[in-house]
Amino acid sequence: MKRLEECIVKYGKALNKDVLKVDAFLNHQIDPDLMMELGKDFVEHFKDTPITKVVTIETSGIAPSVMLGYLLHVPVVFMKKSKSKIVDDNVYTANIHSFTKGIDYEITCSKDYLAKDDQVLFIDDFMANGEACIGGIKIIEQSGASVAGIGIVIEKAFQPGRKKVEALGYPVYSQARIASLDKDMITFVEE
């Protein structure tokens, strides 16, 4: 998606060969106009796919997911990264490793918000090693719902995430694919 790539070049910061900082428009400060464009692009890509829910993992996937849910007129569910005192044990869980933070954590989703008849579009802000996406898929599968599609805002195509997810039988649609990063250098996959 051209506008997303332009924002990545203009506002993103390649800190090294593995880390891309996009907090100027996605991870800390949010550009709502861009988020709506991301939502519209996902709608166009998945237009022939029946979707009853949009699901993401907190926090950075929420903004594009809400815009997408608004456009599709379906609820948005986000999986939580930390346990809350008001959440009981009526949850689906999966353990994942965060490449960016270098930690393992448990994601949860209330059983009240995913059902076996749901057709779920899973959205994530980044795909690197695919751990968050695979954890999200595990929770969706635990609920008996179907994964209708996988949408990624920014994919680090030089890391194995896409291959891992596609090996599970799920095609991946990424709005921007990064071929390589280096200090202050961002190269996109040419498609």
Annotated binding site: 20, 27, 128-132, 156
Q: Rounded CA gap, 57 and 45, in Å? A: 21
- Tens-place pLDDT, residues 6-42: 999 999 999 999 999 999 999 999 999 999 999 999 9
CATH of the domain at 20: 3.40.50.2020
Number of domains into which the chain is organized: 1
pTM of the model: 0.94
Residue 84 has pLDDT above 70, yes or no: no
Annotated binding site for xanthine: 20, 27, 156
Spell 48-69 as b/e; 16+ CB within 10 A means b.
eeebbbbbbbeebbbbbbbbbb
Closest to 17 in 3D by CA, of 96, 97, 99: 99
- Tens-place pLDDT, residues 116-170: 999 999 999 999 999 999 999 999 999 999 999 999 999 999 999 999 999 999 9
- Tens-place pLDDT, residues 48-83: 999 999 999 998 999 999 999 999 999 999 999 876
Strand partners, 177: 155
Annotated binding site for 5-phospho-alpha-D-ribose 1-diphosphate: 128-132
Domain span at residue 142 reads 2-188
- Annotate 74-115 with three-state secondary structure: CCEEEEECCCCCCCCCCEEEEEEEECCCCEEEEEEEECCCCC
Strand partners, 147: 120
Q: Rounded CA gap, 131 and 159, in Å? A: 11
